[in-house]
Structure 1
Amino acid sequence: MKRSNAAKFAAVTAAGVLALTACDSAADDGGSGSGGEESASGVKVGLAYDVGGRGDRSFNDSAYRGLEQAVEELGVDAQEFEPTDGEAESAKVDRLTTMAEEGFNVVIAVGFAYDGAVREVAPEYPDVDFAIVDSEITDIDNVTSLVFAEEQVSFLAGAAAALSTEEDHVGFIGGVETPLIQKFEAGYVAGVAHVDDAIEVEVDYISQPPDFSGFSDPAKGREMAQAQYDRGADVIYHAAGASGNGVLEAAVSNDFLFVGVDSDQYENAEEEQKPYVLTSAIKQVDVAVYDLIEAASEDTVEAGVQRFDLASGGVDYTDSNPELIGPLQEQLDEIKQQIIDGEIEVSEKP
């Protein structure tokens, strides 16, 4: 038997989750959003953030940009749901259940940590279109999996680092040592070796499962980056969510190069930080989220796995800092094309 709405809302509140709006126009009216109103498109979207929440300048913020675009261009009603640090799996189940019960006909879970919750909740609401970012679910008819070739773009990040290091010593910092983040590590290390296998690569993870705080601890990110720099690394790439903000702070303090992830972290950086951002290995989470919502508005959502790679433009490196990345682009684009053509195969595992 499903619990009452009141019980589920109580559970969500107890988990410390704050529902926010993605509709800036609604906020202009002084309210907290239009979560209960009828949208112009008839589509009501709920988006549940990963560890760290909105404001990480990385993964979650990319998902938000896609949601915001859908609100502005498609007229959908949207509401955001924030996680709490160290929350139990039941909080994720309650969050998704609340959305489905409250009339959200599109429910998007951002991050592989929602895999179990989506598997539990989605079959109970077959008329709701569920989507999950960074996890493959193939056996539920109303779930779309939005996944990315992180290893391919990380290979380019590694090549860029290898072409930029002056010390023949670079670093990688992962948020939490999971198979997903190991894809970033694998691609990065392989990309460095492709350019020069004599370059030393530092590899560290901030936390180990089931501790996911490694994605939301900038202080630990800064401390770990400082340690890698002290050991000789002069270019550091992170796949650590909001913890990467600490890595960038360390880069500025110590005058080494930073490689961002998921979003264009040059564009998101403070002005004094921008000169230290070599490039970012971006995942077009915003595009994937927007396209899914657009399909929902047209009643054309397809379940199954949607994979975004270099060939499709779903992942890529950024050239926002031309002074640093400009001299490398010809070489990086050649490597990129070799990956697309299958001449270079990038492993997903370290």
Structure 2
Amino acid sequence: MRRISKLTRVAVGVASIALVATACGGTSGESGSAGGADDKGVAIAYDIGGRGDQSFNDAAYRGLEQAKQEFGYETADIEPTEGETDADKEQRLSSLARQGYNPVIGVGFAYGPAMTAVAEQYPETTFGIVDSVVEADNVASLVFAENEASYLAGVAAAKATETKTVGFIGGVDVPLIHKFQAGYEQGVKDTDPSVKVISQYLTQTAEEGGFSSPDKGKAAAEGQIEKNADVLYQAAGLSGQGVIEAASKAGVWAIGVDSDQYEQEALAAYRDAILTSALKDIDGAVYALAKSVEDGEPLTGVQTFDLQTDGVGLSESNPRYAEVPGLGDAVEQAKEEIISGAIQVRTEP
């Protein structure tokens, strides 16, 4: 699901998005918008797990790379540090703005407090934040209907299971990941009420490694497989690689998240076990924000990407997806009913 052109149209004004477009950020060809330095291109600051997670952060990087190739400007992508504080994040965002990058994007809800502070300090720079809302005139809040994509993942799991037991593994017990759990569990139960869902979280806080520890994901997956789960959906960042590895070795299904993980080169050894992935078009959102700045019409405000706008969805890359009886039709029907409003997907388990 890489419908960039449609997503770009969405980002510049479709009514389903609560969007305020302002001219508070300079274009990448202007100078002086970030304290006197010449404007550069888009910069992203990664969330926990960093680049190489084959999921959330890597999706943001693809958006940065697309903007870099199309606009031919300088970009930057900065890794997080272990055990970092909000002050560390604030310093990172400030440094990027001070160097003249525009827009500057924080990848992940953890950047919320830091971005609130930094956006005020650099009012002529456009900022973006993924998976959180920061209310400021020069910030674009890029949020997604993860629960809707997860509902479709639940439909797929209910159709694919043979043991009538499926699993959900969340990286960290926080409201954002609750949306994944809620949609998945609802999708499973609406499709087949007899299917049992085992849900668990790897850690209570991000600092404990819930999004960055493949070994934790693998151990959790092995525990669920021992309880007869034969489809495992993970929303755990880098830790999800361990879930996929365990599923592959046990001969059961895994469902990926954020990126189409069947297509990720680093997961090629396990790809046959990846039934599908719940997608978030993070790369499209990053690109759309970069393009808006490049065009001189920076986007700000809350931008919600959902099934209606093709901002979320379910991948079909694995040929075995089409071999599961009734799966494709059930997913398409669920998608239509969510878009029409016939199905209201929960955001809390």
Question: TM over 0.5, yes or no?
Answer: yes
Match of 2:114 in 1: 117
Check the 8 A contact 1:52/1:85 in 2, yes or no.
Answer: no
Check the 8 A contact 1:51/1:212 in 2, yes or no.
Answer: no
Match of 2:333 in 1: 334
Aligned residue for 2:210, secondary structure, equals helix
1:95 aligns with 2:85: no
Aligned residue for 2:269, secondary structure, equals coil
Aligned residue for 2:151, secondary structure, equals helix
Q: Distance in 1 between matches of 2:291 and 2:99?
A: 21
Give the TM-score of the pair, scaled to structure 2. Answer: 0.86
* Amino acid paired to 2:272: P
Judge which range, 55-64 or 300-309, deviates more.
300-309
1:230 aligns with 2:232: no
1:274 aligns with 2:271: yes
Match of 1:8 in 2: none
Match of 1:85 in 2: 82
Q: Distance in 1 between matches of 2:84 and 2:227?
A: 35
1:52 aligns with 2:49: yes
Q: Distance in 2 between matches of 1:106 and 1:144?
A: 10
Provide Cα deviations, 1:193-233, integer angstroms capped at 9, x if missing partner: 01111211111101112635100000000000000000111
Match of 1:190 in 2: 186
Check the 8 A contact 1:319/1:326 in 2, yes or no.
Answer: no
Match of 1:181 in 2: 177
CA shift at 1:180, angstroms?
0.3
Match of 1:161 in 2: 157
CA shift at 1:76, angstroms?
2.3
* Amino acid paired to 1:280: S
Match of 1:14 in 2: none
Aligned residue for 1:347, secondary structure, equals coil
Check the 8 A contact 1:85/1:213 in 2, yes or no.
Answer: no
Alignment partner for residue 247 of structure 2, among 237, 241, 251? 251
Aligned residue for 1:323, secondary structure, equals helix
Two-structure CA RMSD over aligned residues (Å): 1.4
Check the 8 A contact 1:86/1:212 in 2, yes or no.
Answer: no
Match of 2:18 in 1: none
Q: Distance in 2 between matches of 1:48 and 1:250?
A: 30
Instruction: Note closer, same or farther for the CA distance 1:210–1:318 as it changes in structure 2 (3 Å cut).
Output: closer
Q: Distance in 1 between matches of 2:102 and 2:279?
A: 28
* Amino acid paired to 1:223: A
Give the TM-score of the pair, scaled to structure 1. Answer: 0.86
CA shift at 1:106, angstroms?
1.4
Off by >3 Å, runs of 4+ in structure 1: 269-272
1:69 aligns with 2:62: no
CA shift at 1:283, angstroms?
0.2
Unaligned runs of 5+ in 1: 1-37
Check the 8 A contact 1:266/1:279 in 2, yes or no.
Answer: yes
CA shift at 1:43, angstroms?
3.9
Provide Cα deviations, 1:155-202, integer angstroms capped at 9, x if missing partner: 000010010000000000000011000000000000000111121111
Aligned residue for 1:320, secondary structure, equals coil
CA shift at 1:303, angstroms?
1.2
Check the 8 A contact 2:169/2:200 in 1, yes or no.
Answer: yes
Match of 1:324 in 2: 321
CA shift at 1:326, angstroms?
4.9
Q: Distance in 2 between matches of 1:145 and 1:318?
A: 25
Alignment partner for residue 210 of structure 2, among 199, 210, 214? 214
CA shift at 1:316, angstroms?
0.4
1:314 aligns with 2:290: no
| Number of residue equivalences | 310
Alignment partner for residue 132 of structure 2, among 117, 131, 135? 135
Judge which range, 259-268 or 83-92, deviates more.
83-92
Q: Distance in 2 between matches of 1:209 and 1:225?
A: 19
Q: Distance in 1 between matches of 2:331 and 2:206?
A: 36
* Amino acid paired to 1:232: N
Task: Report the identity percentage.
Answer: 48
Alignment partner for residue 263 of structure 1, among 249, 259, 277? 259
Instruction: Note closer, same or farther for the CA distance 1:140–1:162 as it changes in structure 2 (3 Å cut).
Output: same
CA shift at 1:105, angstroms?
2.4
